[in-house]
Amino acid sequence: MAQISTEEQREKLDRAQDILQYRFNNEQYLLSAITHPSAIEGKPVKYSYERLEFLGDSILGAVVADAAFHAYPELDEGGLTRIKVSLVSGASLSHVAEDLGFADFIIFGQSEQGTGRRGLHSALENVYESVVAALYLDGGMEPVKEFITRTLITSMSEEMAREPENPKSALQEKLQEEGITPTYKLVETQGPPHDRTFITQVYAGLQELASGVGRTKKESESQAAASALDKLLGITPEVLQAKEAQRAARQEQKAQAKAAKAAAKAERAALKKSKKEAARGGDA
pLDDT of residue 160: 85
Query: Among the CATH numbers 1.10.1520.10, 1.10.3720.10, 3.30.420.10, 3.40.50.620, which is that of 7-161?
Result: 1.10.1520.10
- CATH 3.40.47.10 applies to domain 167-235: no
CB 104 within 8 A of CB 112: no
pLDDT of residue 55: 94
Mean pLDDT by 10 residues, the chain (284 residues): 70 95 95 85 62 93 96 91 84 89 87 59 89 97 97 92 76 78 91 84 90 88 86 53 59 75 82 78 62
- Percentage of the chain lying above the pLDDT 70 cut: 82
What whole-number distance in Å separates Cα of residue 145 and Cα of residue 81? 19
Catalytic residue (choose from 57, 125, 138, 219): 57
What whole-number distance in Å separates Cα of residue 208 and Cα of residue 82? 32
pLDDT of residue 186: 93
Catalytic residue (choose from 129, 165, 195, 221): 129
What whole-number distance in Å separates Cα of residue 145 and Cα of residue 11? 26
What residues does each domain of the chain span? 7-161, 167-235, 238-284
pLDDT of residue 235: 47
Instruction: Establish whether 244 is a catalytic residue.
Output: no
Instruction: Establish whether 66 is a catalytic residue.
Output: no
pLDDT of residue 266: 82
HEC assignment per residue over 94-134: HHHHHHHCHHHCCECCHHHHCCCCCCHHHHHHHHHHHHHHH
What whole-number distance in Å separates Cα of residue 90 and Cα of residue 126? 8
